[in-house]
Amino acid sequence: MSKRFVLTIITLLIITVAAGVAIFLVKGYTFSSKERRIVGTGILTIASIPDSASVFLDGHLTTATNTTIASLSPKNYEVKVVKEGFIPWQKQVAVKEGLVTELKITLFPAIPTMYPLTFNGVKNPILSPDGEKLAYVVNLPASKKAGIWVWTQVRNQPISFARSAEPHQIAQSINIDFSKAALKWSADSKQVVAEVGGNNYLLDTDKMNNEPRDITPVLSATMQTWDEDARSKEASRVLAVKNVTLRQIASESALIRWSPDETKFIAGANEQNLKVYDTEDGKNYSLPEAISHIWLPDSRHVILVEERAISIADFDGSNKAVIYAGSFLDSFVFPWPDSSRLVIISSFPTPTASEPNLYGINLK
C-alpha cells in the first residue's frame, strides 16, 4: 500500500469526522465538559417585522431580532420580544434537542395612525371573494360621483395616489338610483349585481357601465351559476386537505373561513365557538370570542372584531392585542391585501359629506 494512498485515506477520514462534528454542531449538539459527553441542545431562530427588537428568554435580555440563538437546553422558554412604539409579543416556546425552532413575529404599533380613505360617503360596502376588491355605494344627490364604486387593492403594494390604487366608478346614479342598492359579488370577483327596487343590474368591475344590463329575468340562473362556482372552489379546498379528520371537519362545519394561503381554516358552529385547524401540522387552536373573525392576509394572524374594538391575535389564539378602540359602523372591517393596514367605516364628518367614510388604520 503506497504512502500516498494511506495519506488520502487519512485525509478523507479527517474530513468525514470534521463534517460529522459540524453537522452535530449545526443541529445544536455540543460537548459538555461536566458530563464528558456530547449532549443535545436546541436552536432558536427569531425574525421580526420590524427587526432589531429586543429578545428576552425567561426574563433575561438575550439578543435582538433577526438572529439565531444556539446551544439552548431543551425545555420550554418564555420568549418576549419588545420594541419601543410597538405592542410586546410573548409566548411560551418549546426548544427541542437537535431541532431548530423558528419564530416569525409581527409587532403591531402601540398607537396606530388613522386617516380617511374616502371623502364622499360610503354605503353598503362588500368585499370580493378574493379579498382584493371593495364595492360600495356613494350617495351624493345631483352629483356625477353618485353611484357604485370599486376599489381594487393591489397586493404587495401600499396605498398610494397612483392611478391603479384609486377607487373607480362603475355605475352612475343618472337614469337608475343606486343610492340604496344591495350588492353581490360573482364567485370570480369580476362582476357585481346591484339590486335596486326589484330590478337587478349586472356590472363589470373593470369599467364604467354606462348602460347597466337588467338581468332580473335570468337572475335565478345567474345566482345558481355563481353559487355552483363558489361551492366548486370550496370543494377543491376541502379535497386538498390530506388529513382525513381535518377534511371531515372542513366539510361538515357550519362556518368555515380559509386562510389566504389555504394551509389553515377557521371552523365551528358559530362565531362564539371557533377553532383554527392547521392542515400542515394537524393541530387545532381555540380562538378568543368575538363578533367576527377575519384572516389577516399573511395567514398567521386573525382579526377579532368586537363591540367597540378591533384586536389581532396569532392564529393559535395567543398574543391578542387591541389595535383600535372606538366607534366604527356595522362591524365592518377588512384588511389590505399586503397586511399593512385595516379599513373600517366611521362616521367622522368630512368637508364634502356627512355620510360615513372609509378610514385606514396602519399596522406597520
Mean pLDDT of the chain: 88
Q: What pLDDT does residue 349 have?
A: 59
Q: In whole angstroms, how far apart are CA 181 and each of 126, 149, 205, 244, 326?
A: 12, 12, 15, 43, 28
CA of residue 34 relative to chain centroid, distance: 48
Res 230 pLDDT > 60 = yes
What cell does 178 get? Answer: 343606486
Q: What pLDDT does residue 164 have?
A: 43
Comparing 355 with 287, which gets the higher pLDDT? 287
pLDDT in tens, 34-53: 555 566 788 999 999 999 99
Q: What pLDDT does residue 331 have?
A: 82
**Burial degree of 184 (CB within 10 A; 0-12, 13-18, 19+):** middle
Q: How far apart are the first and last CA of the chain?
A: 68
Strand partners, 188: none
Q: What pLDDT does residue 162 have?
A: 37
Q: What pLDDT does residue 1 have?
A: 54
Q: What pLDDT does residue 226 have?
A: 93
- Sheet containing strand 54-57, strands side by side: 60-64, 54-57, 75-82, 89-95
Q: What pLDDT does residue 20 have?
A: 64
Mapped onto helix, strand or coil, the DSSP state of residue 112 is: coil
Helix axis angle, 244-252 to 219-239, nearest 10°: 160
Question: Using CA of residue 342, residue 344, residue 350, residue 353, what is the dihedral sign?
Answer: positive
Beta carbons of 83 and 53 less than 8 angstroms apart: yes
Q: What average pLDDT does range 254-281 have in this prediction?
A: 93
pLDDT in tens, 269-323: 888 889 999 999 999 999 999 999 999 999 999 999 998 999 999 999 999 999 9
Q: In whole angstroms, how far apart are CA 325 and each of 14, 109, 304, 308, 320?
A: 64, 14, 12, 6, 14
pLDDT in tens, 65-120: 999 998 888 999 999 999 999 999 999 999 988 889 999 999 999 999 999 888 88
Comparing 356 with 352, which gets the higher pLDDT? 356
Percent of the chain clearing pLDDT 70 (strictly above): 87
Least confident of 31-35, 140-144, 218-222, 330-334: 31-35
For the chain, which domains are there?
3-106 (2.60.40.1120)
Q: What pLDDT does residue 159 have?
A: 43
Q: Quick one: three-class SS letters along 131-197?
A: CCEEEEEECCCCCCCCEEEEEECCCCCCCCCCHHHCCEEEEECCCCCCCCCEEEECCCCCEEEEEEC
Q: What pLDDT does residue 158 have?
A: 45
Comparing 66 with 3, which gets the higher pLDDT? 66
Q: What pLDDT does residue 221 have?
A: 96
